A and B are shown apart, each in its own frame.
Chain A
Amino acid sequence: MQSSVSIQNLKLDYGTVSVLRDLNLEIGQGEFLVLLGSSGCGKSTLLNCIAGLLEPSDGSIYINGQNVTWAEPSRRGIGMVFQSYALYPQMTVEGNLSFGLKNIRMPKEEIRRRVARAADVLQIEPLLKRKPAALSGGQRQRVAIGRALVRDVDVFLFDEPLSNLDAKLRADLRVEIKRLHQKLRNTMIYVTHDQVEAMTLADRIAIMKGGVVMQLGSPNEIYNRPANKYVADFIGSPSMNFFETTLSRGAEPKVVLAGRDVPLATYGFVRKDFAGAVWFGIRPEHILTGEAAASAPVRFEVCAELVEPMGSEILVWSTLADTSIRFRLDGQEKVATGDMLRIGFDPARASIFDKAEELRV
């Protein structure tokens, strides 16, 4: 896959605070990459650097093989969509769409053709003569996407484009962005703090923390085989249950949980010879209950301490091995606080991290 955007040894410091530290990232042609992280992790900063709105302290950025580190934003072949839409309030939708094209003195005929095409793709033709104030949030964001679309750019940058919308609209527009990507096949870089958006949209996700990429991989990889405890904890809602224990390697590798041996013969080890203090993590949705628990390789009995019914499922809080844990029950189950429940899990689905560096074992 030819790389569309390439970031090499990128650094950005504000005084003594370093926001991006020696960051390297290769984004393929037509790839949908999501930068995911909690606020302050540097994901928006990185996007602004790619767009040319922030100057990096060191390192270089290539777009389509060209070094654009010092290029103006408009000359990088990028289009950007912002969280607050950032539509020019005194211009009509048509004016907003054609502003960038007028700035490069494109012939009027060509401008009209491109605006018409973008309006058709995004289905905003009836809105062309309106001002942004007369549009709903979803319509505004569509116009903002259109503004990137008319410029016929290679790379789309999205800076939390759906965060200002209500839940339902967000889901609708999410699908629309995905559809747009399938139709246009442009490279898209998308910043969000919403893991559902990241999981559903991305070809690959880069999870960032403190200006460093913690893991870069497909949504599947990130969910099932998190590279470190931070990623494991960050992805998934409710988040993963972690137990402090010790990994020992006798005849076969095992950990001890609540006085019981958990054999790890089926676990896919990354470091085949590691032994010592570890975090043993298992996702709430991978804890089996009822019938399934009876046939699980590892079984426990726990007391339901807190029950949160959510309609489609029930979230149960409990304690195992002196650690608070969460797991899910089907929404139709009858469970009350104080009930004893049988749970179990398959150790192959667990994630184990060493305690010192919190990296996957």
Chain B
Amino acid sequence: MADTVIRTQHASHAHAAGPRPRPIFSRRNIIIYGVLIVLALYYLLPIYVMVVTSLKGMPEIRVGNIFAPPVEITFAPWVKAWSSVCTGLNCDGLSRGFLNSLKITVPSVFFSIAVASVNGYALSMWRFKGANVLFTILIIGAFIPYQVMIYPIVVLLREIGLYGELSGLVLVHTVFGMPILTLLFRNYFSSVPEELFKAARVDGAGFRTIYFKIMLPMALPIFVVAVILQTTAIWNDFLFGAIYTRPENYPMTVQLNNIVNSVTGVKEYNVNMAATLLSGIVPLSIYLISGKLFVRGIAAGAVKG
């Protein structure tokens, strides 16, 4: 028996040509795919529970089994979460928070990236005097815990009359995005060959022309990364949203907290789940849409930076 096995192996080796055949159910594949599938299920399970719960009516939820699919599918919890659930003082649902979050996120993302990309470009290409000191200070900024700065910023915003306003929160987000984004852009622009910059200078291009005509078109992948990082971070922000805004300006996350943590009345799990899913849609869809670009941008920054 063993003899034949050896002989057939010899025979197959003798005729070997082209790619080596790989069995699908090898031990290696089973371990790799097994672990991947288990982990995927582990991470997907909460989402599954949320989705099925949000589609059930309250009587069905009271029955108990959280893993059971809904017997009778209802979208009423979604409608309620969006338009009529009470979030503290206002009872017009998450729609208000969604708009607020948009009004906060879009300008914050735009301004923080606009400023940080110019910062990074200036720091890496135009080695002006004090550039390294400035950069060090900026990076230290990234390591100071937010809690330390909360109160001074409250005072600051009050003094310039932006406390409680959406624009005040936009300012805070723009400033806090600066260290990490500048680092991101500086590293990316450092990977651009210096000779390109020199060639542009010989060609008579100045600070602005080089930025807009040469660096900006080259940096698209890193802009995508920055947009994703900032959008998810700002959309998901709770701390600043809760501290620096008034109730009518609350972002979605703060509203969600008020819905889920309200202690009066019946706990409407289905509405809570629907509200949570609603507020997660934006970052989730950003990842799904731009996943490939994101990986490419991160890789570009990592390998060359």
Contact = CB atoms under 8 A, between A and B. Distances in A.
Interface of A: 48, 51-53, 72-75, 78-80, 82-84, 86-90, 99-100, 103-104, 144, 147, 151, 159
Contact of A99 (B193, B198, B213): B213
Contacts of A82: 195, 198-199
B202 A73 contact: yes
A147 B217 CA distance: 20
B202 A100 contact: yes
Contact of B217 (A74, A87, A90): A90
B221 to A, nearest CB: 13
15 contacts: A48-B198, A72-B204, A73-B198, A73-B202, A73-B204, A74-B202, A75-B204, A87-B199, A88-B199, A88-B200, A90-B214, A99-B213, A100-B202, A100-B204, A103-B209
Given A83-B195, A86-B193, A86-B196, 9 more contacts: A72-B201, A72-B204, A74-B202, A74-B204, A86-B199, A90-B217, A99-B203, A99-B213, A100-B202
Interface string B257-297: 00000000000000000000000000000000000000000
B275 to A, nearest CB: 44
A345 B4 CA distance: 75
A84 B192 CA distance: 12
B218 interface: yes
A83 B204 CA distance: 20
Contacts, number: 64
A73 B204 CA distance: 7
A137 to B, nearest CB: 15
A53 B205 CA distance: 13
B218 A147 contact: no
Interface in B80-117: none
Given A83-B195, A90-B217, A51 B203 contact: no
Interface in B161-190: none
Nearest to A100: B203
B204 A86 contact: no
Contacts of A48: 198
Nearest to B201: A73
B204 A104 contact: yes
A83 B198 CA distance: 12
B214 A78 contact: no
Nearest to A78: B202
A53 B198 contact: yes
Contacts of B193: 84, 86
Contacts of B200: 88, 99
A201 B62 CA distance: 90
Contact of A74 (B203, B213, B218): B203
Contacts of B205: 74, 99-100, 103
A100 B217 CA distance: 17
